[in-house]
Amino acid sequence: MTNKTSIHGSWASRWIFILAATGSAVGLGNIWKFPYITGENGGGAFVLVYLACILLVGIPIMMAEVFIGRRARKNPIHALTDIAEESGGSKAWGLIGFMGMLSGVLIFSFYSVVGGWVLHYIKVMLTGEMLGVSAEQAGATFDVLLGDPKTLLGWHTLFSIMTISVVAGGINKGIETATRIMMPSLFVLLLILLGYAMSTDGFAQGWDFMFHVDFGQLTWNATLVALGHSFFTLSLGMGTIMAYGSYMTKKASIGKTVLTIGALDTLVALVAGLAIFPIIFSNGLNPGAGPGLMFISLPVAFGQMPLGQLFGSLFFILVGVAAWTSAISLLEPTVAFLIEKFEMKRITASITLGVVVWGLGIACLGSFSFLSDVTLFGKNTFDFLDYITANIMLPLGGILIALFAGWVVKDKFAQDELQLSDSIYTLWNISMKFTAPIAVAVVLYFLINPLT
Ligand code: PFF
Ligand code: NA
């Protein structure tokens, strides 16, 4: 069963797979979430723990996802059931794929709302409406946007349509074409913004904030956040990378490929931090501003800087591109499943799923206005979905995938696909059997039973 190709097509080359998977990985998690959680958790020491999580837990799990997808060449549910059967395990492992698809749908519903905010900020930056605003005014502008469901609905709808139309185009005409255009643009934009940040007088302070390690600053909670974020940022635990792996050619080395993807995602997060914090510091703003860091603090900063309108616009375009390629990957596994399972046409599958996630998105955008009274476990819909996916479903998916790869899949199959030297294979295997599941289980326990 190892040399088949997927019915959906294959990536044109190893680099296209790398860029497509990097497109999935690099998103709001890198440019919006990573800088603000770094800010909230005191900088350097947090960054170091995050890097360790990526290397010790994230990369090995990503290798497992890729090889499971590539070996089975099917959507995540069927990939897992096939490999389980082939290894003499239970078909129930397919449930991980099911939970993963559900996570994708739930993440999309709030991701698209934030994607919509980003589109709105592209417009606001281009028109220069926020030039010269104070922090209070910028905060008020953001609040007005959150409290305005009609505007949010428009942007959320646009973002959903942009995403669905690429997925509907299929692997080669849709996702691959988008990848070829968007990923190089993303890297260029990021470099331009980094150059801009380096020209500000806050650069040294920004650098110091991110790389000066002071373990006195590190809290137990920060460690939990770092590990949780390593799943979200690498798009792990939900079958996305498995689905993308099922379109990967057999020739490419999984280890090297995955290391490249992990390195690129990390690099973008670090560079995003290095682009944002200097701008924050050179304007005397607070790095620990939380989720509003990007939507409130940055517009204030850009509004006071030379060429701020230009670079502010470029910045939000960058975030928009990154969010778009990630959103595409949130939907692809389920679309692949609908096509394979129900013999739907891709266009039908994409639109069907699109309508569902668009509807769920409305519940999220209403969290700040007409649905603000609706709470689950004390959280509005938006925060609740962010919480259960990033903090519970993805880590749980990650543990189960690791256990599956480590204990159920036959060693011979794993070795066949991974082609690692014996010592590296042993390390990987130990990570799957013990390190990754235990580390993540500990985190999961404390995320559910917070210390404070
Ligand atoms: N990795 C994306 C980010 O960092 O923004 C988020 C994400 C995309 C998570 C796709 C999961 C996924 F399947
Ligand atoms: Na990411």
**How many whole angstroms separate alpha carbon 192 and alpha carbon 186?**
10
pTM listed for this prediction: 0.94
Please give the angle made by the CA atoms of 373, 152 and 22, to the nearest 5 degrees.
Answer: 110
Residue with tokens 């390593």: 230
pLDDT in tens, 267-303: 999 999 999 999 889 888 888 888 888 998 889 888 8
Could you report the predicted ipTM of this complex, rounded to two decimals? Answer: 0.98
CA of 389 to the centre of ligand 2 (A): 15
Q: Is the pLDDT of residue 3 over 60?
A: no
Q: Report which bound ligand comes closest to the CA of 27.
A: 1
CA of 248 to the centre of ligand 1 (A): 19
Residue 285 has phi, psi (to 5 degrees) of -95, 170
For the Cβ of 329 lying below 6 angstroms from any atom of ligand 1, the answer is yes
- For residue 32, the ligand 1 atom closest to its alpha carbon is 5
For the Cβ of 330 lying below 6 angstroms from any atom of ligand 1, the answer is yes
Mean model confidence pLDDT for the chain:
93
Q: What is the pLDDT of residue 446?
A: 79
Contacts 24+ apart (CB under 8 A), 349-356: 350/164, 350/167, 350/168, 351/164, 351/168, 353/105, 353/164, 354/160, 354/161, 354/163, 354/164, 354/167, 356/105
Dihedral class, residue 235 (left if φ above 0, else alpha if ψ from -120 to 50, else beta):
left
The mean per-residue pLDDT over the stretch 406-410 comes to: 97
Rounded to 10 deg, the angle between the 149-168 and 308-342 helix axes is 60
If pLDDT is split at 50, 70 and 90, which confidence band does 451 have? low
For the Cβ of 235 lying below 6 angstroms from any atom of ligand 1, the answer is yes
For the Cβ of 233 lying below 6 angstroms from any atom of ligand 1, the answer is yes
Q: What is the pLDDT of residue 272?
A: 92
- Residue 423's contacts (CB-CB under 8 Å, 6 or more residues apart) are none
For the Cβ of 238 lying below 6 angstroms from any atom of ligand 1, the answer is yes
| Nearest Cα residue to atom 12 of ligand 1 | 235
- Residue 128's contacts (CB-CB under 8 Å, 6 or more residues apart) are 309
| Nearest Cα residue to atom 7 of ligand 1 | 235
Tell me which CATH code domain 14-448 carries.
1.20.1740
For the Cβ of 232 lying below 6 angstroms from any atom of ligand 1, the answer is yes
pLDDT in tens, 159-178: 999 999 999 999 999 999 99
For the Cβ of 394 lying below 6 angstroms from any atom of ligand 1, the answer is no
